[in-house]
Amino acid sequence: MDFTQHELGPGVRLYLCETDKFKTLTCKAFVQQDLKPRTAAAAALVPLLLRRGAQRFPTTRDIARELEELYAADFSADVLKIGERQILEFYFQMIDPALLPEGEKLLRRGLETFWEISSRPYGSGRFHEPYFEQEKHTLIQELEGLVNEKHSYALVRCTALMCSEEPFGIYKYGDVDTVRSLENQEVYDHYQQLVNSYPLDVFVVGSGTEQAAEVLAELIKGRDGRNALHSPQQVEVGAPRCFEEFMDVQQAVLVMGYRTQITYPDANYYGLLVGNGILGGFPHSKLFMNVRERASLAYSVSSSIEGSKGLLTISAGISAEQQEQAVEIIQEQVRSIQEGMISREELEQTKSGMISSMNSMNDSPAGLINRNLIGIVHNQLRTIDEVVESISAVSLDDVVRAMQHLQHDTTYILRPSPQKGAANGSN
């Protein structure tokens, strides 16, 4: 199952996947902007405010009642981060209108409701002030609470330190001080710019997508999304840096960040993906087998790729006293792949696992849509068949060539200490 692409206007694209597999109609809309500290914080507030009320549905109760009348339809909103873009996401799902009485009428009503909540927040020339203050407080609590999820916190901190002079170092929800300083009018004006003049990609999955396309074209008519966006920055790597942070934790969290200089459009991209899978993407991976199982140095260990920025990250939960040994064995696994020490079984098992994971995304409308996110950021959508073919074609030499691009940039470790929050960095 793949999408057909249609242009609805400058910078406005519609993607349709016609299928009766799911018995639902699912719609997702994505608005892209460059990551910047202040606008990232402003955009992060928007989903919270949209869920509070719209012009036709001033309260959460009104929204809930409308969704219930649409046979328990669902709406949500959030912000995502892909490379150096922040993406505002709107989600709507309802029962396939073809299965409902007055289906065509309900289809129109559902999509009009979706667009109403997404684009017409409650308020007069600004967000409703009580909602704004309440949700600003909610977002601050969310940001302050990140520290309670130690693994996630460590990953965010390593990224922030590694990319401190780059947009990628900005957290998807901004930071507490910036959120605290935001004014209602500022956030509202930026939101209006986002929904009216930034690139918009709308995906629809279900039966009767052509009818949905007609309604959406009416709703979106006249929108110009040609606001220019920038490509991710690539940075030269110097000597590896090490940072420590001390906190009241039982076990340490180690994060190692590598630059690859390989991104989604590059010929080496799929070699890098397979290399990451061999390194730390599966239970049979080298990190899992050698760091966790054989050396017993980690209670968890894995690696991941950020394919829009070109970063590889290794994270592990370890005993603080075994940091040096853990780092040494992790680096040994990286070197072993770079030197071609990969068995045929490792290569084929990894490719099979990746293809299986890719195919499993066909099992949900959200999975079908979300796999295309990196494609819309780079304006290069690829079908599932194209991706599967690319993964299948990866050879051992392709993996070695891609993994030899890895350059160790940053090591971050969150350590147990009675000195809560004391942070030190060294080069």
Query: Which pLDDT belongs to residue 418?
Result: 59
Give me the pLDDT at residue 51, please.
96
- Which pLDDT value is given to residue 320? 82
Q: Return the HEC string of the chain.
A: CCCEEEEEECCEEEEEEECCCCCEEEEEEEEEEECCHHHHHHHHHHHHHHCCCECCCCCHHHHHHHHHHCCCCEEEEEEEEECCEEEEEEEEEEECHHHCCCHHHHHHHHHHHHHHHHHCECCCCCCCHHHHHHHHHHHHHHHHHHHHCHHHHHHHHHHHHHCCCCHHHCCCCCCHHHHHHCCHHHHHHHHHHHHHHCCEEEEEEECCHHHHHHHHHHHHCCCCCCCCCCCCCCCCCCCCEEEEEEECCCCEEEEEEEECCCCCCCCCHHHHHHHHHHHHHCCCCHHHHHHHHHCCCEEEEEEEEECCCCEEEEEEEECHHHHHHHHHHHHHHHHHHHCCCCCHHHHHHHHHHHHHHHHHHHHCHHHHHHCCHHHHHCCCCCCHHHHHHHHHCCCHHHHHHHHCCCEEEEEEEEEECCCCCCEEEEC
Low-confidence stretches of the chain (pLDDT < 50) are 420-427
Q: What pLDDT score was predicted for residue 250?
A: 85
**Considering the entire predicted model, what is its pTM?**
0.92
Q: Map out the domains of the chain with their CATH numbers.
A: 4-220 (3.30.830.10), 241-426 (3.30.830.10)
Task: Please give the pLDDT value at position 425.
Answer: 45
- Give the model's pLDDT for residue 120: 96
